[in-house]
Amino acid sequence: MEKIWLIQNADRLEIEQLALQLRVTPVVAGLLWRRDLRTLTQTQDFFNPSVDSMHDPFLMKGMQTAVNAILTRIENHTPILIFGDYDVDGTTAASTLTLFLQEVGAKVTYYIPDREVEGYGVSLKGIDYAESIGSDLIITCDCGITANKQTDYAKTKGINVIITDHHIAGAKLPDALAILNPKQPGCAYPFKGLCGAGVAFKLTQALTTALKVSPHLAEQNLDLIAIGTAADLVPVTGENRIILSRGLVLIEEGTKPGIRALKETSKLSGKSHLTSSDIVFGLGPRINAVGRLGEATRAVRLLTARFYDEAMAVAGVMEDENDNRKVIEAGIVDEAIRISNSRYDPREKHGLVVYHDGWHHGVIGIVASKLKERYWVPVIVIAINDGIGKGSARSLEGFDLYEAIATCEDLFENFGGHPMAAGLTIKPENLDEFERRFLEITQKTITPEMMNPRLIVEEAIEFDDINSQLIATLRRLGPFGPGNMRPLFASRSVSAIGFPRIVGANHLKFKVRQGRQTLDAIGFGMGEHYENLISNKPIDIAYVITENEWQGRRTIQLEVKDLKLAD
């Protein structure tokens, strides 16, 4: 499908004035201007994110109550149970609280639910476990904001619950001892974009103040918080950008045995400069794999390991699980495409609902994302096991997925989500009717224009504009992610030279020349463009500028997002 390039508007006069004021090139000035960095002070503040500029954690509603409850348990040597979700955000949050509380003298243990047996969120089995170890306080991580029944159940056993979460609250909040969630009604905390691990970090910050100990005890775990933040794809703005900036440095240093082992198995040990992409595509999937396919407790065991040998043993198992996850995921993607091809064209229906017996529901979210990228329509993938279907859905910008599936609420056992992603549980006998209704909605709502991916391009530049000042600026604009995406540029009428190659999983590796400048380029999954490269015709390319590191040497590489024959 054709991608639409949208070149961003800019005030050229203001950009030229900013270039003169800051003594930078117009291309660099344009990058700053489009990010509202229009004075030297604003630019310096952005380029130097500091933990010291983070908000007072006690601004978060419920923080003082939570801190007091934890201090009481520390003084009385009463066990505290950390209950974490099984994804990267939940396990890094649980690891952070476990390590911090151990260091300040608390008696603490952790519990991660079994995805297959207990499902998402706070489980009754976890509460029973707290009772069995004599704990009267559970602290949740990345879950609990809708755990009304579970919180009530805990109270019947004399167990208090502190909820740390970042998801949207329901109509009624749980009757917990304290709720730490910047998105809850009445919370004055200024930054609402924290992930679950970020909220856990704010709790440890507050505890350092209350205990009158060094802030370093909290900040030394920003490597874990950064992994949770990047993997959860929250906006890389405000406090999240500070967390990632400092956390990436700590990950590079590798002081924690678990992170050092994970870097080793992810083949990131030799890389001197890590990015948020290394977390999203390297560290994160390996942590997630053990929760998707088995026991997520292993992730916390790795991240809290005290010795490298112990950590490497767990990291090796996680690597095997991740390899297994890839095989399972690829098989389901292939099968889903075959099922779709035999029934209808998702592009004609403006949507896709696909389901099958025996699919592993631990990977269907990834499968839904890949199918959405393939067809560029809203996709729902449903795995049927033991007489029940569990589905994961992904949407397009402009189509409210949650609102669409909510119209089919009478067909579900359970559902939840937001405009871009959702989950549901459904009986097999209701699948045909759900598919009919959902595709009826997509055909009425999704326009042809929405089914063409859009690339937001900073500006069209010449290869001569790619100089040391631009590269240095790009480094300092990071870390990149949602809300602070890596700048996308375009260059017109460039020539593919040499012998383009298809490598790996349909990736396109080639060289491009414009004027006297020749640069390496790679297009991931872009093998279908091979014929355009060997046509000997000029091409237009849209790309991000990256640095490829090999044996300690950095070279510029263009990561091409789209290419087309020049007009």
The structure's pTM equals 0.91
What is the fold of 344-451? Diaminopimelate Epimerase; Chain A, domain 1 (3.10.310)
380 in Cβ contact with 391 (< 8 Å)? yes
Q: How far is CA 1 from CA 369, 376, 452, 454, in A?
A: 17, 9, 7, 11
Contact 89, 232 (CB under 8 A): yes
Residues 6 or more apart in contact with residue 399 via CB below 8 angstroms: 378, 419, 442, 445, 446, 450
Q: How far apart are CA 165 and CA 181, in angstroms?
A: 5
Amino acid letter, 366: I
Does the N-terminal peptide bond of residue 428 adopt cis geometry, omega within 30 degrees of 0? Answer: no
**In the prediction, which pLDDT does 168 show?**
84
The pLDDT value given to residue 280: 94
* DSSP letter, residue 6: E
Of 393, 400, 344, 401, nearest to 371 by C-alpha is 393
Do 355 and 371 form a contact (C-beta atoms < 8 A)? Answer: no
Domain residue spans of the chain: 4-10+455-565, 53-317, 344-451
**Residue 430 per-residue DSSP state:** G
Q: Report the side by side order of strands in the sheet with 352-357.
A: 352-357, 379-385, 388-394, 421-426, 412-418
pLDDT score of 169:
84
pLDDT averaged per 10 residues, the chain (length 567): 91 95 95 94 94 97 98 98 95 98 98 84 94 98 93 97 92 95 96 97 98 98 97 94 97 96 94 92 93 88 97 95 93 96 94 96 92 96 94 93 92 84 92 97 94 95 96 95 95 95 93 96 94 93 90 86 94
CATH of domain 4-10+455-565: 2.40.50.460
Q: Residue 300 has what pLDDT?
A: 97
Could you tell me if 226 and 247 are in contact, meaning their C-beta atoms sit under 8 angstroms apart?
yes
CA distance 358 to 341: 20
Backbone angles phi, psi at 515, to 5 degrees: 65, -125
Q: 11 is written with which tokens?
A: 């005030």
3-state secondary structure 54-86: CCCHHHCCCHHHHHHHHHHHHHHCCCEEEEECC
> Does domain 53-317 bear CATH number 3.30.420.480?
no
Strands (E), 19-169: 80-84, 108-111, 137-141, 160-164
